[in-house]
Amino acid sequence: MRIGGRRALAAALLAGAAIVTPAVTPVAAPVPPAVLAAVAARPAEPPTVSEPPTVSVDELVAAIEDVPDDASYGTRDDRGNTMDTAKIIANPDGGYLAVYHHPARTHLATSADLRTWRHRVVLDPQGVDPTIVRTRDGGFLLGVEHKADAGNHVRLAYYRDVAALLAARPAQVFNAPRTLSPCNEGTPNIYSADLGSDLARSTIVVGFHYQAPGGSGGGRCGYDRQAVGTLTGFRTWKATKRTGYDGSVVAAAKASGVPVNANIGDRDVLTDADGNQWPFELIEAGGTNSSHQNWRIFLYDSEERRLHRLAPRTRNGSKGVANPTFTLLTGPSGRRELVVAMWIHGPGAAPGEAGQLIYRTPLGG
């Protein structure tokens, strides 16, 4: 679906309707009945395409797991800034845009070849884990985890066009109140952005994590868990916990032999250069917070209602990947490519591979 449409689907996500899991053959190992039950119990999922996709689960799994030899490890912009937790989209003026943070500021860079990145501007001096989508009116919606002394929160900023984005000149900014955690909420992704005739009539659906009580220490600020928020009229915010989603990630991880005992954090929905949204989602989860080499990522197929554990194969065999993003773009050669970005934690990194990994793979036609 196109970013900006399908209010009914966004409403279904928030309503928490039950999901019936069809009997299908999984891509990897068979999923036990307990996992299917956990998935069926989860809330309704983010908006998806109404027509059959032309990208299959098999294609996506192969494209994400088979990291090509020319992948960029420890990626930096032309100023030497590490491009942490990068999200890459098409630039309507030609080339590509990337938002990322370094060290705790959100930056914007442009590229013509998806390899060399020219730093353009700081978009948020206190923003981390950014995401960005194009809106149907030609604008952009930026989401960040905004760092504050009283605790982090989700911040959204709307830019009317590329010129406004390059000038770091948002038309409007919204700071979401923390309503699910006394500690932190953040790592946003944008599921849909229906702007209506103007922002005052907009409906925006955002995924994010909240820091739940408990965890290994049993305190008020424990593990990250999943939530969804709706911003109406760019002024009214309502957030809901996604406990069903958390449960299905835990169950799928356990079934694959790699239990999740820590955070369930960042996620991203597959979009293409035109802002169309595809029924696939990446999500990270931690085996333990004390050992980042145990972090892993999963692919969720919202049509088949299945989670698939992914094991990207890097050049030297790194472990512990996180903060995954992916986008379908027209590559520099003119072919359709899947552009993937993920963070390789230092403790799990093979020599020469720590930091931001960015790679692309031809996909489909």
DSSP code per residue over 295-341: EEEEEEETTTTEEEEE--B-TT----EEEEEEEEEE-TTSSEEEEEE
Report whether pLDDT(355) > 90.
yes
- Inter-CA distances, 307 with 70, 304, 358, Å: 28, 9, 23
Rounded to an integer, what distance in angstroms lies between the CA atom of residue 46 and that of residue 160? Answer: 25
Q: d(Cα 301, Cα 18) in Å, to the nearest integer?
A: 16
Checking if the pLDDT of 36 tops 70, the result is: no
Please give the structure tokens belonging to residue 47.
Answer: 């908006």
> In this model, does residue 301 exceed pLDDT 90?
yes
**Helix pair 33-40, 243-255: axis angle to 10 deg:** 170
Report field, pTM of the whole predicted structure over 0.75: yes
Residue 49, pLDDT > 50, answer no
Task: Provide the phi-psi class of 234: left if phi over 0, else alpha when psi is between -120 and 50, else beta.
Answer: left
Using the predicted structure, report yes or no on whether residue 149 has a pLDDT greater than 70. yes
Q: What is the pLDDT of residue 220?
A: 85
**% of the chain with per-residue pLDDT over 70:** 83
* DSSP codes of every residue in 232-258: ETTTEEEEEE-HHHHHHHHHHHHHTT-
pLDDT tens profile 166-204: 999 999 999 999 999 999 999 999 999 999 899 999 999
Contact partners, residue 75, CB within 8 Å, separation at least 6: 82, 83, 86, 117, 355, 356, 357, 358
Which of 109, 85, 92 is CA-nearest to residue 342?
85
Give the percent of the chain with pLDDT over 90: 71
CATH, domain 7-362, list 3.40.50.11240, 3.40.50.80, 3.10.450.50, 2.115.10.20: 2.115.10.20
pLDDT band with cut points at 50, 70 and 90 for residue 364: confident
Please give the pLDDT value at position 214: 79
Work out the pLDDT band at 217, boundaries 50, 70, 90.
Answer: low
Q: Do residues 119 and 77 make contact, with C-beta atoms less than 8 angstroms apart?
A: yes
What is the Cα gyration radius of the chain?
19
Q: What's the pLDDT score for residue 250? A: 92
Domain borders along the chain are 7-362
- Mean pLDDT value across the chain: 86
Going from the C-alpha of 38 to that of each of 20, 41, 164, 302, the distances in angstroms are 11, 5, 44, 14
What band does 326 get if pLDDT is binned at 50, 70 and 90?
very high
The four Cα atoms 237, 245, 45, 203 give a dihedral, to 10 degrees, of 10
Structure confidence at residue 275 as a pLDDT band (50, 70, 90): confident
Q: What is the pLDDT of residues 253-273, one digit of tens each?
A: 888 888 888 899 999 999 998
Q: Would you say residue 285 has pLDDT above 70? A: yes
Give the pLDDT band of residue 290 (cuts 50, 70, 90): low
Contact, 310 vs 365, CB < 8 A?
A: no
* CA-wise closest residue to 272 among 339, 323, 187, 332: 339
How do 106-111 and 127-134 pair as beta strands? unpaired
